[in-house]
A and B are shown apart, each in its own frame.
Chain A
Amino acid sequence: MIRDITLGQYYQADSVIHRLDPRTKITGTFFFIVTLFLAKNVWGYVIAAAFLVMSIKLCKVPFKYMVRGMKAIVILMLMTVVFNLFMTKGEVIFSFWKLSISKEGLENAVKMAIRLTFLILGSSIMTLTTTPNSLTDGLEKLLGPLKKVKVPVHEIAMMMSIALRFIPILIEETDKIMKAQMARGADFDSGNLVKRAKALVPLLVPLIISAFRRAGDLAMAMEARCYRGDSGRTRMKPLKYEKRDYIAYIVIILTLVLCIVFGRNAWWMA
């Protein structure tokens, strides 16, 4: 049923990582990405891999489920690898026709492939273990200091969470309108691209009008419930760091430091 779609790719499970504060997970992911780009030698990658394997084990999301998320970027990865492989100049180790592979190219390609895989896996741990809602909450809190420079952080977060709430409703509505138009002879599946795009117009117009109407209603309902932006607002579930969050921060920073110390030397040191 269309109502049951899950947004993002949250995977319900009960693990330490699931229970971590969203702020910890967002910062952690960011630090992990930094770690990946600082890693220059084998040891750097080993440290990052160790951290990744530990997180995967801890988060109780089946590994298969994570790999599924990788499929979307296979093409991007192949392109990166191919370009790195053939375009890097250096000591040629293999060549045919006009193409040649250098030692440095091979090295770069392998590094890039590992880096991208780790990056995707690392950030998917965050999205798999955090509900979109708490991600928004975490972002709002993390970006809080930007309020001082007049960035409407609260408003952006509120907009994101309202959008998330209305996506399923609008999808359902699209479905309804589509069926109504099909019942009157509209054809959405045949013809070339231009024709199909044109067929979408009678779908989009009523959808947009109804979205505006909903927005108006919702704004009125929010005002009726005394919503007046961020000022004087309290939280039903305020974000609070627990002991596990401090431990997680220590582990993340340790990984970063270890990577800087051992991972930045040249190859011959390894």
Chain B
Amino acid sequence: MSNLKQKINRESIKRTFTGTGANKVYSSLFCIVCGLFIGFLIMVVLSPKNAPFDFTMLITGGIKFYGLNGFGNILSMFAPLLCAGVGVIFAYKTGIFNIGAAGQYTLGAFGALVFALKLNQHWTVCLLMAMLFGAVWAAIPALLKVFCKVNEVISGIMLNWIGLFFVNWSLQTYLSSIINPGDSYKTWKLYVYNASTGKYDFTKPLISKLPNMGISNLGDTFSIAFIIAILVAIFAFILMEKTTFGFQLKASGYNRHATKYAGMNAKKNCILTMIISGAIIGLGAGLFYLSGIEEWSATISSALPQVPWNGIIIAFIAQMNPIGAVFAAGLLGVLSTGATATTQSVFPKEISDLITSIIVYLSGLTAITMRFFPWIKKKLSRKKVSEAEQPLIVDANKGGK
């Protein structure tokens, strides 16, 4: 009896480590390790002397340098990254590559900042508005795709830039009161500003700033954001895996025509997916700008924000699994925080973007890496088999003679 139990246990454990899911994890880990290794080589090229020390700084998220604040920084970077990643994953399940994430994120940031700084609303309202703005911007490519058959990748790219220029135009003209002219056209910080002294009172955050739940020793940017983000990831996971709607989404991702034939409303599903995806990405933008990590800069009109692009990276490292996205976002959070702690004159903070872009380039090769591990296993097992069988063959040959 106990023997059987052991056998079952062993079987199930074996399956956990050898199934398709496990292969996905292995191939992602393989990409991450390779990406980090290439990143390390690039750092060695930049400066052989400092590379080992700064590389450890990078992959530990600069904990040694920042202390507890560093942990808070990682968590506050993690939240928007996770939201962006989950948003991209959600759309990809239906077969839509949401490259317009950057535009939805930009509009989400716009919504959050307008309601925070212009209308002085509570942070919950600001986050809802971020979601709404993101959703509206995501609905445009979906509508164009459904009714005009426009490829969502191309329309997404166009909308990214339209969104960026629209937001920066708005902030420089009719919404110029939320820009701080003294701070090179960045938006105001989320603290009470004393006009007579010209300084912020950092003990008094605005009601639109995300609350830190009474934990003050994790730095200024630490907030409730990471809890919201994890809840969103769980929500997305349940919606995709446990509901009829989620099943329809995935089915239309596998075969659009079959779902149409089976009586599912493909058009409605496509639009709904994009709206949810855009809302999640917009929420990510809200979490980023309302936790005060950075201020929006209205003059840099030539560069889209980096976080949504990292969201695409996270989605592919996580191989389109929201729970995997939690770990991938954690990795990117650690790297991007760690990159600010390295010796900036030798290793600029963009080194983390460099490494993550290499990782995602490699993860584009999942077709190979997914085949790679079963292939190795096959090789190993074949070796064993052939060793076991060899004497028999030899015997048979002898018999023949």
A binds B: no
Chain A contact residues, CB within 8 Å of chain B: none
